[in-house]
Amino acid sequence: MVVRASLPEQLEFAMGFLQGKRALIVGLANNHSIAWGIAGAMRREGAELAFTYQSDKLADRIAALAATLDSDITLRCDVSRDADIEQVFNHLDDYWDHLDIIVHSVAFAPAGQLEGNYIDDVTREGFRIAHDISSYSFVALTKAARPMLRPGSALLTVSYLGAVRAVPHYNVMGLAKASLEANVRYMAAALGPEQIRVNAISAGPIKTAAAKGISDFNQMLDYGARNAPLRRNVTGEEVGNAAAFLCSDLASGISGDVLYVDAGYHVQAMALPDDD
Ligand code: 0WE
């Protein structure tokens, strides 16, 4: 396409860097979700969006949120069920003939697994569920989506520093995120020959609905804001902007990687002195 236009005219027709891309967002629960920050940034850059939601009780809320981003594609999907995952792509196929982007922003460990002493409190069932919902679901979605993916498609998931450091109380979720990050590398290796990219963002702590169930979360936010290089926490919008970039053709040379969007927290060692 040849575009000749004066500068003001070019600005008027300015295209977002995801123009023409179709993105499926998995993991939206409400307007505090990391998935919401990602969806907003992707829509701003021109992507068309579809959403899944976990259960019927979320149906109306997700449809309303989707509508504000010009989407009327919302599909129920409990990622622990293969039949649900299969249904999503059967239905999506009615709207779209291909898929450019999948965002996986899902994690769960059963109540009681994110507190106390790791060894005392971890259970076989807690371990299984955390790994199933938080890691296996990423490749399960990709397996089912594969016929709709094409060269240039990009897959993204959301991880946390607890994957690579022993964060107090993150416990079995840390193992599940380590598995998720390894999943990113193996999926990147498997899909690379088809020019499909797979990456993760490791986000700093953000006050989402999931975070509300975690004791001392506010203390963690304060600690990060005092000790990160940028002296603050990150927002869902900042994670969204990095996600939009990673899933765009601007990131065509990046696959299998974990990009930290955490105000630099992960590079710092030791608490800073009080007067810093
Ligand atoms: O990945 C997470 C938490 C995800 C999460 C949250 C819950 C709360 C409710 C997974 N499963 C559940 N299960 C529930 O029943 N984060 C990165 C946020 C988080 O959680 C922590 C953190 C941080 C940061 C738990 C302990 C320590 C730090």
CATH number for position 172: 3.40.50.720
* Residue 13 lies inside a defined structural domain of this protein: no
The set of residues, in sequence order, having a beta carbon less than 8 Å from that of 175 and lying 6+ positions away, is: 127, 130, 131
Q: Ligand 1, closest atom to CA 212?
A: 8
Q: Is 161 in the pocket of ligand 1 (CB under 6 A)?
A: no
Q: Which domain holds residue 141?
A: 19-261
Q: Is 213 in the pocket of ligand 1 (CB under 6 A)?
A: yes
Which of 20, 11, 16 shows the shortest CA–CA distance to 245? Answer: 16
Task: Return per-residue pLDDT of the chain as tens, 276 residues.
Answer: 555 555 555 556 689 999 999 999 999 999 999 999 999 999 999 999 999 999 999 999 999 999 999 999 999 999 999 999 999 999 999 999 999 999 999 999 999 999 999 999 999 999 999 999 999 999 999 999 999 999 999 999 999 999 999 999 999 999 999 999 999 999 999 999 999 999 999 999 999 998 988 888 999 999 999 999 999 999 999 999 999 999 999 999 999 999 999 999 999 999 989 888
* Residue 134 lies inside a defined structural domain of this protein: yes
* Residue 12 lies inside a defined structural domain of this protein: no
CA angle, 231 then 232 then 235, to 5°: 155
* Residue 270 lies inside a defined structural domain of this protein: no
Domain count of the fold of the chain: 1
* Residue 183 lies inside a defined structural domain of this protein: yes
CA angle, 151 then 154 then 155, to 5°: 135
Which of 196, 184, 192, 193 shows the shortest CA–CA distance to 259? Answer: 184
* Residue 5 lies inside a defined structural domain of this protein: no
Q: pTM (2 decimals)?
A: 0.95
* Residue 2 lies inside a defined structural domain of this protein: no
How far is ligand 1, taken at its centre, from the CA of residue 208, in Å?
Answer: 10
* Residue 253 lies inside a defined structural domain of this protein: yes
CA angle, 40 then 177 then 140, to 5°: 75
Just list the catalytic residues: 160, 170
